[in-house]
Amino acid sequence: MTLYAETSAVLRWLFAEDGGEEIRARLAAATKVTTSRLTLIEIRRVVRRAEREARLDAAQAADLLGVFAQAASTWAILEISDEVAHRSGEAFPIEPVRTLDAIHLASALFLRQALPDLSVLSSGERVRANAKALGMGTCV
């Protein structure tokens, strides 16, 4: 199975939240994992914010970023192209869709052109519902 790893799922795994172990297992079992450059940015921002708010110390933040960097080094990273940016501004089946979620959905749609078995791995209910309505598989 080819997965599009959306930020909410990756964060759930990294922060060992409910369902995080299942997400880790799905990522490990995937034949290919893809994501947007946006996910890399969002992960770093969330970890930095957690450190700034003293929910993580510097060593824990570095560990999380290291685990993420190791995993992401094997993933296919899609840049935010003009096509993805344009599609992000268009309507989705189930509105409203937040801006960053729209970028993820547009990225998954773009990738599905070359990867027809693509499933969206997300803990966001609206992202999964839209992905499903757009004809993609979903999992959490």
pLDDT tens digits along 42-94: 999 999 999 999 999 999 999 999 999 999 999 999 999 999 999 999 999 99
Q: What is the pLDDT of residue 92?
A: 98
Taking the model in full, what pTM does it have?
Answer: 0.96
Position 19, amino acid: G
Beta carbons of 108 and 78 less than 8 angstroms apart: no
Q: What is the pLDDT of residue 106?
A: 98
Residue 39's closest CA among 83, 1, 69? 69
Position 105, amino acid: L
What's the mean pLDDT in 26-40?
98
Residue 7's closest CA among 113, 112, 101? 101
Q: Which two tokens stand for residue 13?
A: 């795994």
Cis peptide before 116 (omega within 30 of 0): no
Q: Which domains does the chain have, with CATH numbers?
A: 2-139 (3.40.50.1010)
